[in-house]
Structure 1
Amino acid sequence: MKVIHTEMKTLNQLLLIGFIMLTFLSHNAFGQNVVEEKPAYQITGKILEKGSDEPIPYAAVALIEVESGKNVVGAVADFGGEFVITNFGNGKYQVQVSFMGYQSYTSPVLSISEQNSVIDLGNLVIESDAVALQEVTVMGQRDLIEEKVDRTIYNAENDKTLIGGDATDVMRRVPMLSVDMDGNVSMRGSSNLLVLINGKQSAIVANNVAEALKQIPAEEIKSIEVITSPSAKYDAEGTGGVINIVTKKNNLQGATLNINSSAGYRGSNLGLNANLKQGKMGWSLGGFGRSGYNILGFFDNEQLVTNAGNMSTLRILQSADTKSNMLFGRYNLGWDYEIDKFNFLTASVSFGVRNMKNDQDGLFTETFMGDQLLSALLRDVNVSNTSNNVDVNFNYTKTYEKPLKEFSISSLYSQNTQNNDFINSLYNGTFDDVASRIKNNNLGRNQEFTVQLDYVNPIGSGKNHILEYGAKNIMRKASSDFAYFTAEGSTGEFTQIDDIAFSNEFIYDQNVTAGYASYTTNFLKNYSFKGGLRYEYTSIQADFRNNELAANIPSYGLFVPSLNLSRKLANGNMIKAAYNRRVQRPFLNFLNPNINAANPQQITQGNPLLDPELTDNYEISYSTFTKGMTLNFTSYFRNTTGSIQPVRTVMDDDVIFTTYENIGQERAYGFSVFSNINLSGKFSLNGSIDGYFADLDNGLEDPLYAASNQGFVLSGRLFGNYSLPNNWQIQAFGFIRGRQVQLQGTSGGFAMYSLNLNKQFNEKRGSIGFGAENFFTSVFRINNELQTPTIMQQSTVGMRNMNFKINFNYRIGKLSMEPSRRKKRSVTNDDIKEGGEGASGGAVMNNN
């Protein structure tokens, strides 16, 4: 195993980190020269609900002139309950706040003059106007969707239909995201995303995002944050953007134990989570398990393959019944300590396991030349995917008397081990006994050590100018040890194949050193600007145990700019524009040279020589708020060069061979519209429509390999919530996605829906509910199509996904809330393109 430690790489890293630290030391000199703008007439505040201290969005705010009683100017609170009143002069005023379902509020008299032109009213607490009439209760209800300047937030903790589900179910409800039947997530048509958990990427999501999401119970998720235009602070990875999964955290005194459970026809889960907080020290211990069973389906495939030499065409028909069983577990221990008012320590250790079994029973393959049957083969295919991962975080944060000023050091050690194996059993000509077997073992390992420094410094005495600096280094070691074996009959001993193409070890060492700087400012009253520049230097050493297959990959450096501009309009409306450049390094599933031949008619192999893909993103959005409703309109353009796409060719006359290449160009022209409506304190409705036009071209001129495709992709979702008397609640959800355009074909569309009824009891300490998913659809069918000059393929994947479940949740213990005095930080790695079609698992490489 070779590791890069060249003098040039070391010099680059030292120079970069030295530059960052030198910039840190010089920040005060720059800050002292900034001239503060003269403040304008302005009244600000934040509206909170009494008792819960939750913000109340969309509340109406009016500025009343005391002498005349005239309404001079008004505003509407944003999603966080914050409001800004401008465009008034000297005089005596009162601020009035009103919102349906709450008692109105009137402030004391405010005397406005040139010497007292800016007033911050702080938190304005208003009380819910609960009225009981014949057992009908009217109360305020917090919105499920929030929009902030740089992100859209889905508050999953308020969605009761998710009880007993997992993170995949949550993702399907989030605007701008699309999730297919296998759990693969895409944003605006791009699956090249950076997925974080509490601001950091863990080994849990590094290997396979789709499978990782199934390991996280929905009850553990507080919210999902969608960041479409990441700033320079984030790693350059993630072409489509950043998704941050925020799990439930609290700042408590005392002890508690939560029990979450669900039992259903297709799956069950059980989770136990405990918290202990005494004084300056806090502990958290959590663990849960999730199982899936009775997951049945089928597979049909028809493909026509043409030999380019003699132009003969073979027709292959395949069918099989499928069965999946799974068992996941995840455990974590967290610790935090408040050294003093300005210094904090946090640490955590998490351990996860996964065991998945996927079977194709009776995979029947018929091969025809015209009407003549050339062969008929029967196989059983058993795929085993097991893994374990460990993450260790340790973080130090220092704050200052000066608001927003902060310095932090974060570290992460992550290790993942995965076995992705299969056994293919071929029956004899009479289909009575097993004639031979083929086994593929693929052991993947990944280790990372990351150190990150971040510094936030407001310039001057106000909050209008903020500088942020940071540096980061990731040392990553990944490997894939793969081998093929053959055996006679059903009991014969396996013998390893002596061929370096089928039995070898692939080693991939990567080092990424990065530094960034960004500047945020508010100007001209209603404008905000955030711009930054990030530099990343990547060195790679890729090798095989057998040096005949050595891969020479040069080092490279990248500058990644980002620009964000927003303007607040009247009544809380906002318009935003953004540009950023993103880079997507290929994940090991794309690089892994292991040949995945679980289905001998469709073979997949990774490409160790892939380059990173580069994407320029442009977007503009408009948000408007009216009483009880918000609307957001976004349009965007995404241009990707060197896009990593699957490329299919014909091998051995009748086999479709898939590998991955950096195609010429991929463009996407898109839009999204979403709305959240609160019709009353009892009923809310939100929905969204997303669409884009995809244009892909690999830029090749050879007619046998040239490929291009284009077309529209549409998706939509709708969610409704209704609060019933006596702590009952009913929720419904539906999602639909049209066919998806690929370079050499299309992936079929699908739809899903669910209904949930929930009852809280014992002063809301516990809840019990009933849920139903896809209850009118016994079988889902997804039709996929592949077209090239030599291949015509149509395949159908079926899944019996109807599910009924009973949910139970109960909390034991008593806790008291205390104000949070710190902001936890953690390291994030976001630089890897995830996915790949069956490159047989392999090691994990985290990203940042």
Structure 2
Amino acid sequence: MPTMKNLFSLLFILVLGASAQAQFGPPGGGRQQGDGNGRPRTETAPGFEMPTAKGNSKISGYIVDSAMTQAVEYATVALLDKATQKPMDGTIADDKGKFSLTKVAEGEYTLVFRFIGYSPKTIDGIKVEKGKDIDLGVVKMSVNTVMLDAVTVTGEKSLIEEKVDRLVYNAEKDLTSKGGDAADVLRKVPMLSVDFDGNVQLRGTSNIRVLINNKPSTIIASSIADALKMIPADLIQSVEVITSPSAKYDAEGTGGIINIITKKSSIKGLTLSLDTGVGLRGSNLGLNGSLRTGKLGVTLGGHGRAFYNKALVTLDQNTVQNGDNILTKQSADAFDNGLFGRYNIGFDYDLGQKQYLAAGVNFGTRNFSRNQDYTTNIFTNDALTSTKYRNVDSRDFSNSVDMNLDYVRIFKPGQEWSISTLYSVSNLTNNFNADLLSSAQELTGRQKNLNGNVNKEITLQTDYMQPIGKKQQIEFGVKGIFREVNSDFEYQLAGPTGVFSTDARNPAGLLNYNQNIGAGYLSYTFATANKYTFKLGSRFEHTMIDANDQNSEINIPAYSNLVPSVNISKAVGKASTLKLAYNKRIQRPGLQQLNPNFNLANLQNINIGNSSLKPELTDNVELSLSTSIKKTYLNMSLFSRSTSNAITRITTPSDSLIGAVVTTYQNIGREQTVGANVFGNFYITSKWTLNGGVDFYYNYLEGMQVGLTGVSETVSNSGFVIGGRMQSQIQLPNGWGIQAFGGFRGNRVQLQGTQRGMGMYSLGVRKDFPNKKGSIGLAADNFFGGMRMVSTLNSPLFNQVSVNNIYNQNVKLTFSYKIGKMALVEKKRTRGVKNDDVMGGGENN
């Protein structure tokens, strides 16, 4: 494929060229180099070797932001002789703010802490005694204003941050997200695309894993789209996109991991905060309280969101059945109502100076109802043969409970042991009631589907990390996941006034699915003198499945997987980092793919799961460069993904219903993707930022479908996909701020067709009250008519065009306020369970 080779050659030249031109000069004329994380760090002059005070004592501690009580990542620490002020040793804090100076000789010293955007912090009179260590605890640094290439840049968080293994979108700085849900936030995150229904893709694949605060939830395992609607946007602090997970993470999520971080209290005393919004499409209310006294901290909060929406759905479908050409023309007015919420109570307790215990209970609820009035005309060989009227009231209700208990023991900086536990359960009800109507809109019959689902998980995990000298670290751990999925369904029929009875044509059914996973991993990190950092690891997972339906056992053999991962980074020039990564990933099917219940809400477009699905395997390779060029931050990456045994959506004509098609999932696909991402963040002035990016990739899919002769045949589809987003934020005097966003996703390739592109946009303004106690704002989304999505499927036996018009233009008024006595405390560090292994909702390519 010469065009793709040329594309890669051009991009690689651009990457090297940007690396060679990257320049970044710190205040005061000091030299800077990349820190391995796309951030600048102070470097001594070439050829100068800092003298070291040799001894057997150690000085350690944590560096945090005095205003926000969060880690100051990669701050520099200099050890000076108190009398001469001569540098004796130095180090750099890690991404948790931890630092450690070892082999310090007896004497009196001064410590100086520095990082861009912060005032230097000096601690005098540190007296080191022979053989005795000093733990400074928390060292707080204050935000300062510095000059960067004639532009004033404060130490405030950027909207986008890049860390050594992930990209972070700081959603709390997004003015336009208030009153929405998590799907609204994720639409603005680089590398992600989200459709109307909340189905998420990362670099063109929906086979991803979504975590909440580093932990899984059974509702996410059932459907990512449902889970995103459950989380109010106001609750989200940041979103982390991990494209190349290390061996420490579960092997699932072929495209990577999305970690949603919710807002947490980091204050001492008693506080209460209110966040609310009222809009044409949706309204929200959030209350959070916190109490911190002595060694105990307690948080209690809840966020709820209600919405109303209207849509128009049309379907044009041609099928070949029994030698006849059947044309279905269908339209449906839809009215959607939803009530979603997430509520939590959390505890943390200091068992000692370096021991923490944390526990929490999270409850989520999702009540979504849709009323659709279907009009269906069926033509046989171009002649109208029937007209059907059908009113369907769908009820998609669910709730989830997640309970965790975590223990962390810190022996010394970089040496930790943790035990994490999680119990998660969700109950889902996916029912509908259908009224069958005559042309005079008289009731002729009724239909009902009852489908209850339960998804349970118990997870036990322990991890240990140990530094080896100053430039090496080893991590290892073991984990067990015990998962149970149950689905029970039944169809019932009744006359216009009669009693419901079981539908003999659609017998009741069930699925009992038990999955047990045992895993262990080993990861090794080391850095070299010439600025290379290597993180190598491997993970072994063994999966056992016991499943049965109403008729018999489902034979799914146990399987084992060895999953390697390699991450290499290299500091290039003064402010650039080049990364190369490889990993193998697994994607296990989720409840939506497994559930054998026929969804007959729309009799012309039926969906059913496949309880015999096996996992898919993917090899990922990524090359990226992050650099700062004067006032601009850039990230450019090339990636390749190859998937075998892909879980693919396949649609075929129904055997029994005239003009209908049935969609299910099968392990029949092969997928190859090659593409690139470019993202930039530009400071136009100190108060005006512009950021955006473009994603483009070539997608090739191959699978099997039934041909005209009734025999399965190999089919393929391919094409280029492009998407992008742009966002600008302006800080005005007197606490005013404006933010605008626009994004699009181009046509998406599917095995049997395409899904056309979509666009979205928003505009918001906010006024902060004095002392940042609260704010009031106004925001609008898609105010020029809402959004429209077109999907086209085709095969030798059918053609389908469906159009979904969602009139979701929205204007919302937002308000927030905080009361209470606030005093800053050290942010507790806990390690939670991270289950990254189950495919959520959404379509698969």
TM-score tier, shorter chain, comes to 0.7 to 0.9
2:48, 2:751 → 1: CA distance?
64
Structure 1 residues 59 and 470, CA gap change in structure 2 (3 angstroms): same
1:352 matched to 2:360? The reply is: no
Instruction: Note the alpha carbon deviations across 1:291-332, whole angstroms, 9 max, x for none.
Output: 001x0010111111012x53x211110011011000112211
Residues 106-115 or 724-733, more deviating: 106-115
Task: For 2:23 and 2:500, locate their aligned partners in 1 and report how far apart those are by CA, in whole Å.
Answer: 68
SS in structure 2 at match of 1:595: coil
Match of 1:666 in 2: 671
Residue among 808, 813, 816 paired with 1:806: 813
Q: TM-score, normalised to structure 2's length?
A: 0.84
Question: 2:480 aligns to what?
Answer: 473
Q: How far apart are 1:142 and its partner, in Å?
A: 3.6
Q: Does 1:795 align with 2:806?
A: no
Give 1:755's match in structure 2, choosing from 763, 767, 781: 763
Letter in 1 for 2:386: S
**CA distance 1:631–1:424, change in 2 (3 Å):** same
| CA offsets 1:642-673 (integer angstroms, 9 cap, x no match) | 11111111123521011111123101111100
Q: Distance in 2 between matches of 1:445 and 1:108?
A: 56
From 381, 386, 409, give the equivalent of 2:397: 386
Residue 770 of structure 1 deviates from its aligned partner by 0.7
Q: Following the alignment from structure 1 to structure 2, what is the Cα–Cα distance between the partners of residues 716 and 107? A: 40
> Residue 553 of structure 1: CA displacement?
1.1
Aligned mates of 1:618, 1:837 — CA distance in 2 = 23
CA distance in 2, matches of 1:108, 1:554: 58
Does residue 587 of the first structure (1) align with residue 601 of the second (2)? no
1:153 maps to 168
State how many pairs are aligned.
745
CA deviations on 1:547-597 (whole Å, 9 max, x unpaired) are 3x4311111111111110010011120100000000001112111111111
> 2:599 is paired with a residue of what secondary structure?
strand
Asked if 1:456 is matched to 2:465, the reply is yes
Distance in structure 1 (CA, Å) of the matches to 2:566 and 2:145: 44
Where does residue 746 of structure 1 map in the other structure? 754
Aligned pairs (5 A) from 1:263-662 = 263-293=278-308, 295-307=309-321, 309-310=322-323, 312-361=324-373, 363-400=374-411, 402-428=412-438, 430-460=439-469, 462=470, 464-489=471-496, 491-498=497-504, 502-544=507-549, 546-547=550-551, 549-651=552-654, 652=656, 653-662=658-667
Give me the whole-angstrom Cα distance separating, in 2, the residues matched to 1:700 and 1:325.
Answer: 37
In structure 2, how many angstroms separate the alpha carbons of the residues matched to 1:702 and 1:138? 62
Encode CA deviations 1:785-840: one digit per residue, 9 max, x unaligned. Answer: 011011111111111011011000000112111233x42111121211112579xx
Give a deviation string over 1:101-127, Cα, whole Å, max 9, x none: xxxxx9999899999575665235336
1:196-217 Cα offsets, whole Å, 9 max, x none, are 1111112342221112112222
Cα displacement string for residues 83-112 of structure 1 (whole angstroms, at most 9, x for unaligned residues): 04155134999xxxxxxxxxxxx9999899
Deviation, 1:519, is 0.5
Tell me which residue corresponds to 2:46.
88
Is the CA contact (8 Å cut-off) linking 1:60 and 1:76 kept in structure 2?
no
* Alpha-carbon distance, 1:713 to partner: 1.1
Shift of 1:77: 7.9
Please point out which of 679, 683, 693 is paired with 1:688: 693
**CA-CA distance at 1:261 after TM superposition:** 0.1
Is contact 1:528-1:565 (8 Å) kept? yes
Indicate which of 692, 697, 706 corresponds to 2:702: 697
Query: How far off is 1:497 after superposition?
Result: 2.5
Aligned residue among 713, 723, 739 for 1:731? 739
Residue 198 of structure 1 aligns with which residue?
213
Match of 2:250 in 1: 235
Residues 1:123 and 2:114 aligned together: yes
Describe the shift of the 1:772–1:836 C-alpha distance in structure 2 as closer, same or farther (beyond 3 A): closer
Q: Is the 8 A contact 2:340 2:365 kept in 1?
A: yes
Distance 1:778 1:609, change over 3 A: same
Shift of 1:498: 4.3
Counterpart contact for 2:37–2:577, Cα < 8 Å: no
Contact 1:306–1:313 (CA under 8 A) maintained in structure 2? yes
Flag the 1:118–1:393 CA change in 2: closer, same or farther, 3 A. Answer: closer
Could you say which residue in structure 1 is the equivalent of 2:240? 225
Residues 575 and 91 from structure 1, CA distance in 2 versus in 1: closer, same or farther, beyond 3 angstroms?
closer
Paired residue secondary structure (2:176): helix
Question: What secondary structure does 2:340 align onto?
Answer: strand
Q: TM-score, normalising length from structure 1? A: 0.84
The match for 1:768 among 776, 781, 788 is 776
Shifted more, 621-630 versus 82-91: the winner is 82-91
Q: Quote the offset at 1:478 in angstroms.
A: 1.2
| Corresponding residue of 2:269 | 254
Alpha-carbon shift at residue 780 of structure 1 (Å): 2.2
CA 1:454/1:77 → structure 2, altered by over 3 Å: closer, same or farther? Answer: closer
Letter in 2 for 1:364: T
Larger deviation: 558-567 or 83-92? 83-92
User: Contact conserved, 2:604 with 2:661, CA < 8 A, in 1?
Assistant: yes
How big is each residue's C-alpha offset from its partner over 1:466-491, in whole Å with a ceiling of 9 and x where there is no partner?
A: 111110111111100100000101x4
What is the identity, as a one-letter code, of the residue corresponding to 2:694? I
Unaligned runs of 5+ in 2: 1-21, 52-75, 93-111, 120-142
Corresponding residue for 1:832?
Answer: 838
Describe the shift of the 1:585–1:77 C-alpha distance in structure 2 as closer, same or farther (beyond 3 A).
Answer: closer
Task: Decide whether the 8 Å contact of 1:263 with 1:805 is kept in 2.
Answer: yes
Q: 337-346 vs 647-656, which deviates more?
A: 647-656
Taking a change above 3 Å as real, the CA distance of residues 107 and 171 of structure 1, as seen in their structure-2 partners, is: closer
CA 1:167–1:58 in structure 2 vs 1: closer, same or farther (change >3 Å)? farther
Question: How big is each residue's C-alpha offset from its partner over 1:232-284, in whole Å with a ceiling of 9 and x where there is no partner?
Answer: 11111101000111112243211110100000001101000011111111000
Amino acid paired to 1:467: I
The one-letter amino acid paired with 1:833 is: M
2:341 maps to a residue whose letter is: G
Distance 1:551 1:204, change over 3 A: closer
Residues 1:342 and 1:744: Cα distance change in structure 2 (over 3 Å): same
1:674-717 Cα offsets, whole Å, 9 max, x none, are 00011221100000100111100115796654321111111100
Distance in 2 of aligned mates of 1:119 and 1:283:
36
Give the % identical residues.
44
Counterpart-to-counterpart distance in 2, 1:527 and 1:77: 10
DSSP 3-state at the match of 2:230: coil
1:514 Cα deviation after fit: 0.6
Query: How far did 1:372 drift?
Result: 1.2
Instruction: Determine helix, strand or coil for the equivalent of 1:534.
Output: strand
Secondary structure of the residue aligned to 1:812 is strand
Partner residue of 2:179 out of 164, 169, 183: 164
Contiguous gaps of at least 5 residues in structure 1: 1-56, 65-70, 94-105, 132-136, 839-848
Cα distance change on mapping 1:80 and 1:660 into 2, 3 Å: closer
